[in-house]
Amino acid sequence: MKKGILLALVAALCLAWSGLAAAQTADEAKADVQKAIAMAKEKGVDATLKAIADPKGPFAKGELYVWAGALDKVIMVAHPYKPELVNKDLTVFKDIKGKQFFNEFVKVAKEKGSGWVEYYWPKPGSKEPVLKTSYVEAVPGQNLYFGAGVYK
């Protein structure tokens, strides 16, 4: 009986923790974007883009990573895990549901300054797209936005 109660308590705590962890991860994605913006202001855009592009750098934490895109055209400027996307025209790139999410990143960053975009994208090391929501924010005074997202 005591063992059953203990198992139920552990299960309840795990469920509560998983919900809390997801909320913290979304907050962490936004915080990482804002840390990248702060670094760009402090150390310059070039140093920040180099740090973002480094898969072992401060902005690449497995499934949680920052990338950079241009605001004047729909291209990737830096990405830690998919360098093949850098300087590619992504205007016609669609997720599995047909959403042109790179276009939406630019639109949200330009029109609102920041916001969240939902789309399908593979986790690092996988080819299967899963639902992801990403926070994007324009870098003040630059033709850039930074983004980071959470897989659902």
Q: What percent of the chain has pLDDT over 90?
A: 79
Residues present in the chain in total: 152
pLDDT at 31 over 80: yes
pTM summary value: 0.83
Q: Computed over its alpha carbons, how large is the radius of gyration of the chain?
A: 18
In this predicted structure, the answer to whether residue 94 has a pLDDT above a threshold of 90 is yes
pLDDT reading at 4 higher than 60: no
Residue 82 to residue 87: CA distance in whole angstroms: 11
Residue 18 burial class via C-beta count within 10 angstroms: exposed 0-12, middle 13-18, buried 19 and up = exposed
Q: What percent of the chain has pLDDT over 70?
A: 84
Q: Are 60 and 50 in contact (CB under 8 A)?
A: no
pLDDT band at 7 (very low <50, low <70, confident <90, very high): very low
Judged against a pLDDT cut of 50, whether residue 12 lies above it is answered with no
Instruction: Report residue 33's pLDDT band, with 50, 70 and 90 as the boundaries.
Output: very high
User: Across residues 52-76, what is the average pLDDT?
Assistant: 96
pLDDT, tens only, 111-146: 999 999 999 999 888 999 999 999 999 999 999 999
Q: Which domains does the chain have, with CATH numbers?
A: 2-151 (3.30.450.20)
Question: Residues 126, 127, 128, CA angle at the centre, nearest 5°?
Answer: 95
Give the C-alpha separation, 89 to 85, whole Å.
8
Q: What's the whole-number mean pLDDT along residues 64-81? A: 96
Given this model, what pLDDT does residue 42 score?
97
